[in-house]
Amino acid sequence: MHDRLLGTSLPTVAALAYLGDARHALFVRRMLVDSGICKSGELNEAALKFVTAEAQANMMRKIEPMLLEDEREVYKRAANSGHLNKPRHASAADYRAATGFEAVIGMLEWIGDGERLDVLLRAAHEE
């Protein structure tokens, strides 16, 4: 395991994904407000383009080559965790990748590695 995790007790991958979902949503909301969108309805509509399982799976594919060993391990554990439910509008593969994406983001938030979190979120959102 990577040195930055030594002595750190991580929550379950489900809990990391839950935390990562919230942290990613905050990143998206800040990005959209920074873009100059002012109306809440427009902000919510724009945010939907970034928080779907399909969108997050595509972001994961962008950043996967950048993952460090511990991030890759968390991604794999989350993506392979037994999902009983998936959104109606997502493939099983996209749902697994999105869960892995959220878990990696959640892990970085949990351990307080804001610099690495910023690098990966910015890379995930590059066009």
User: Catalytic site residues?
Assistant: 21
The identity of residue 60, as a single letter, is M
User: Please, which residues have CB within 8 angstroms of residue 22's CB and are 6 or more apart in sequence?
Assistant: none
Give dist(CA 105, CA 90) in Å, integer.
20
Q: What are phi and psi of 76, to 5 degrees?
A: -65, -45
CA-based Rg of the chain, rounded to a whole angstrom?
Answer: 14
For residue 105, give Cα distances in angstroms to 4, 36, 68.
15, 25, 13
Q: What are phi and psi of 79, to 5 degrees?
A: -65, -30
